[in-house]
C-alpha cells in the first residue's frame, strides 16, 4: 500500500520536509516518534511513500500512528475525512488544523445560512466562539483535524459542558461553502 497524494501532502506540510528524500524521511520518522512516542521503521515509511516496491499491507497500528500524527483519532477517521480528496485537489480549498496557530480563529459556513467561528486550542481541538444557526453552541469543544471546501466537515467529537456528544457532521449535502483563517488582531 502506498499513501495517497493528499496524505503525503499533509505529512509534508506538517513536518515541513521534502518527503522524496531519504534523509527527510528519517527526520519525519523522528518527528512522528517525538510526538506520538511510537516508532515507524525507515523501510516501512519508504514502502508507504512508494519508494520501495512491496505488496505487503502495513500494520493497522502503523497507519493509526500516521493518522494521529496528522491530528486524526485513527486511520479510519482520517480515511473518511480525506476520501474525497485526490491529486488534482485545489490545496487552497483546505485547511489542516496543524497549520492553524493556537488561539487562531477559523470561520466556516454552509447552506442554507450557517456560520461558525472557532478558536483553535491545540492539535485538532477548537472551541466554538460564535455560532449562527448551527447545532453547535458557543463553548462546545470540537475535534476537527481538516476543513475541506465543498465537502462536509467531519467532527470526530463534540464536548458540551464536559459531556461527549459524539460525532457531528456539518454541511452533509452541500459541504462547506467557505473556510477562512481570520486574523485575530
φ, ψ for residue 25 (rounded to 5)? -65, -40
185's grid cell: 488582531
State how far the Cα of 96 lies from the Cα of 185, in Å rounded to an integer: 21
Q: Per residue in 121-179, pLDDT tens?
A: 998 899 999 999 999 999 999 999 889 888 888 888 899 999 999 889 898 877 899 99
On the CB side of 143, CA atoms within 13 Å amount to 16
Query: Contact at 8 Å (CB) between 117 and 105?
Result: yes
Distances (CA, A) of 66 to 7, 35, 138, 150: 9, 11, 31, 25
Query: For 20-37, what is each residue's pLDDT tens digit?
Result: 777 899 999 999 999 999
What pTM was estimated for this model as a whole? 0.63
Among 100, 138, 107, which Cα is nearest to 121's? 100
Residue 14: half-sphere exposure toward Cβ, Cα within 13 Å: 26
Amino acid at each position: 500500500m502506498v499513501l495517497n497524494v493528499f496524505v503525503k501532502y499533509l505529512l509534508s506540510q506538517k513536518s515541513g520536509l521534502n518527503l522524496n528524500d531519504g534523509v527527510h524521511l528519517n527526520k519525519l520518522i523522528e518527528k512522528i516518534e517525538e510526538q506520538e512516542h511510537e516508532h515507524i521503521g525507515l523501510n516501512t515509511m519508504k514502502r508507504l511513500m512508494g519508494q520501495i516496491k512491496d505488496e505487503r499491507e502495513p500494520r493497522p497500528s502503523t497507519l493509526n500512528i500516521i493518522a494521529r500524527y496528522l491530528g486524526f483519532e485513527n486511520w479510519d477517521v482520517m480515511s473518511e475525512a480525506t476520501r474525497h480528496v485526490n491529486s488534482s485537489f485545489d490545496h487552497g480549498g483546505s485547511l489542516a488544523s496543524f497549520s492553524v496557530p493556537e488561539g487562531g480563529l477559523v470561520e466556516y459556513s454552509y447552506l442554507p445560512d450557517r456560520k461558525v467561528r472557532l478558536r483553535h486550542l491545540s492539535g485538532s481541538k477548537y472551541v466554538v466562539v460564535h455560532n449562527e444557526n448551527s447545532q453547535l453552541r458557543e463553548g462546545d469543544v470540537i475535534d476537527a483535524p481538516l476543513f475541506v471546501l465543498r465537502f462536509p466537515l467531519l467532527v470526530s467529537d463534540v464536548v458540551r459542558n464536559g459531556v461527549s456528544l459524539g460525532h457531528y457532521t456539518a454541511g452533509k449535502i452541500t459541504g462547506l461553502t467557505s473556510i477562512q483563517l481570520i486574523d485575530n488582531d
